[in-house]
């Protein structure tokens, strides 16, 4: 093993021309730091449906200049093998404001230009949805966004979009990964193609910006961009606090709310307004994390404002907090998703007669309340696997079948307005939300919170008990799920006092509810995911995270009151921890 690691280190030193990362590996090799070299060099950082994401350190196992170049060369070669007119259609490249994002984006551009492929270059930091929108708007063959979303400051990532404006799905991920391994020798490190100009690199921000905001304006009223002028999106005055959480969201949110006539009503959290890759005021730059919105709430209290909205650093996720009487309530991702869906349904049906043509989507780990709403109101609902790569691609398929896909959401505060972009987008979702807030207030005398209670009264109360367990390793996670499957044949029949009414295992490919016992959703032996429906209107999904060392639990109960629903969800959580996941036994660490 020592010899193998030494060979990897020497190969790194041969290939790497970034002085900083080259020196890191050189010093580790000189000092014979075997364990750290092993962590840095093996295994190679894996390319999957999320692209690449990891800590910015030297080594093949991390994200750095060399692994970015190698990924770009592999992607370029794969595109040339699988797509048509690649050189002319080109690739859209964007980046956020994280450490090294600018450098990584320029190296990406250099790699594509070296293959003779046109580069549509965004000359300033952008929010992530701007890249897939640009792919669709420009007819590009693919898009690359350098971002790690809401990860810690030491991380970065390489996110790939296909020519349909969606995140890549199988088999492209495996195809790109294999192509990377065939193209490891760097062809160029020369970023002057961006810095000094090159005929293959075209500055593109202005070409895309206006079209994007026209689409945002149209999406706020559930109309086509061509009809936007007939349905203006200017709304009544609503005061709110906004935080971009040290990310790139402020200029995009400002322009979006200007289109609604609300720019003067937006108070920005000053300490978090400008991009800062160190995220100095938050422990984790994720609006879902405890304490992340404390400064925003403090700002709202200082201005006597009742509403806070927040985006994560790359502005693709949206969070909302509302002051109800004297207490601040942060809407869960499921709650905000249902509020947005209800507004889109109400506005869509006033403009269209065929309700059955409307389609909305949610991932399998998200609330079933949207499915109940769809069944009650008569529109089409579709469930997908976790992730907007699946939601976006399914929305396209539904549109091809004659549906009108208008909304999709996931419980992790992600919301997609398909008429704008086939990916989650905090900016377009915020425009829809603020339009909805004005309509609820002016037309119904309701706030978001009271509107939510109205929806619960109509469709039932849905409460969740979502959490996660930190796993020591992938092997431990696999062992936990293997032991659960052994609790019954062909599957366990009970959890606690509740009977299991449906068992769906997307790892093993079994669904007790289908005629042939085969799941409708895609099966993957490489990931762990089990969904159960229990007596008492409880449903849960347990899955191993694909990007973190976590085992995630999503539990939801439907009942006649919030208290009853919350009680049911918490009881199932307790049963899962006691009977199936046994943290002490397996060495799992609770959230």
**Cβ–Cβ under 8 Å, residues 433 and 216:** no
What angle (nearest 5°) sits at the alpha carbon of residue 423, between those of residues 419 and 277?
Answer: 130
- Catalytic residue, candidates 149, 163, 363, 405: 149
Judged on CB neighbours under 10 Å (0-12, 13-18, 19+), 446 is middle
Provide DSSP, 454-468: HHHHHH-EEEE--EE
Distances (CA, A) of 545 to 135, 470, 478, 527: 28, 10, 12, 8
Nearest to 220 by CA among 22, 417, 403: 417
> Rounded to whole angstroms, how far apart are CA atoms 580 and 96?
41
Instruction: Check residue 46 and report its DSSP letter.
Output: P
Distances (CA, A) of 178 to 74, 190, 333: 8, 25, 36
3-state DSSP call for residue 183? Answer: coil
Tokens of 206: 């202005």
Neighbouring residues of 308: CB distance < 8 A, sequence distance ≥ 6: 240, 241, 242, 243, 293, 296, 297, 300, 320, 321, 322, 328
**Cβ–Cβ under 8 Å, residues 520 and 560:** no
Decide if 101 is catalytic: no
User: Which residues are known to be catalytic?
Assistant: 149
């Amino acid at each position: 093993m020592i010899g193998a690691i030494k060979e990897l280190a020497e190969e790194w030193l041969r290939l790497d021309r970034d002085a900083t990362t080259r020196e890191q590996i050189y010093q580790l090799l000189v000092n014979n730091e075997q364990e750290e070299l092993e962590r840095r060099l093996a295994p190679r950082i894996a390319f999957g449906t999320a692209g690449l994401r990891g800590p910015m350190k030297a080594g093949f196992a991390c994200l750095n200049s060399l692994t970015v170049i190698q990924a770009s060369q592999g992607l370029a070669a794969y595109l040339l093998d699988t797509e048509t007119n690649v050189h002319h259609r080109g690739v859209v490249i964007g980046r956020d404001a994280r450490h090294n994002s600018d450098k990584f984006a320029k190296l990406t551009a250099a790699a594509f230009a070296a293959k003779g492929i046109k580069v549509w270059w965004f000359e300033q930091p952008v929010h992530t949805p701007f890249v897939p929108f640009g792919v669709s708007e420009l007819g590009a063959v693919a898009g690359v966004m350098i971002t790690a979303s809401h990860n810690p400051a030491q991380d970065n990532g390489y996110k790939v979009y296909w020519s349909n404006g969606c995140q890549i799905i199988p088999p492209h991920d495996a195809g790109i990964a294999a192509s990377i391994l065939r193209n490891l020798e760097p062809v160029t490190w020369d970023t002057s193609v961006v810095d000094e100009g090159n005929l293959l690199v075209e500055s593109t921000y202005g070409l895309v910006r206006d079209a994007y905001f026209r689409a945002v304006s149209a999406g706020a009223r559930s109309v086509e961009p061509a009809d936007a002028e007939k349905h203006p999106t200017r709304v009544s005055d609503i005061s709110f606090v906004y935080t971009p959480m040290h990310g790139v969201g402020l200029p995009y949110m400002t322009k979006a709310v200007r289109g609604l006539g609300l720019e003067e009503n937006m108070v920005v959290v000053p300490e978090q307004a400008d991009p800062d890759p160190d995220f100095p005021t938050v422990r984790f730059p994720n609006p879902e994390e405890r304490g992340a919105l404390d400064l925003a709430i403090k700002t709202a209290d200082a201005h006597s404002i009742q509403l806070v909205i927040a985006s994560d650093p790359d502005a693709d996720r949206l969070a909302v907090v509302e002051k109800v009487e004297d207490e601040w309530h942060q809407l869960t991702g499921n709650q905000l998703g249902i509020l947005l869906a209800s507004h889109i349904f109400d506005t869509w049906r006033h403009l269209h007669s065929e309700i059955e043509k409307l389609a909305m989507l949610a991932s399998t780990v998200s609330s079933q309340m949207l499915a109940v709403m769809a069944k009650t109101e008569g529109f089409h609902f579709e469930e997908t696997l976790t992730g907007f790569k699946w939601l976006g691609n399914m929305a396209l398929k539904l549109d091809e079948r004659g549906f009108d896909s208008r909304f999709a959401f996931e419980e992790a505060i992600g919301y997609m307005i398909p008429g704008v972009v086939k990916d989650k987008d905090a900016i377009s979702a915020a425009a829809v939300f603020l339009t909805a807030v004005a309509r609820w207030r002016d037309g119904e005398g309701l706030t978001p919170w009271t509107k939510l209670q109205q929806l619960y009264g109509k469709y039932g109360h849905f409460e969740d008990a979502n959490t996660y367990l930190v796993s020591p390793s992938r092997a431990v996670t696999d062992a936990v799920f293997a032991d659960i499957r052994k609790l019954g044949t062909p599957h366990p029949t009970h959890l606690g006092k509740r009977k299991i009414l449906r068992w769906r295992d997307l790892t093993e490919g079994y669904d007790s509810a289908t005629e042939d016992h085969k799941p409708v959703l895609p099966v993957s032996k490489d990931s762990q995911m089990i969904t159960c429906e229990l007596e008492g209107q409880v449903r849960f999904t347990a899955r191993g995270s694909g990007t973190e060392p976590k085992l995630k639990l999503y539990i939801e109960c439907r009942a006649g009151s919030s208290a009853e629903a919350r009680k049911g969800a918490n009881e199932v959580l307790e049963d899962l921890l006691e009977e199936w996941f046994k943290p002490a036994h397996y060495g799992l660490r609770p959230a």
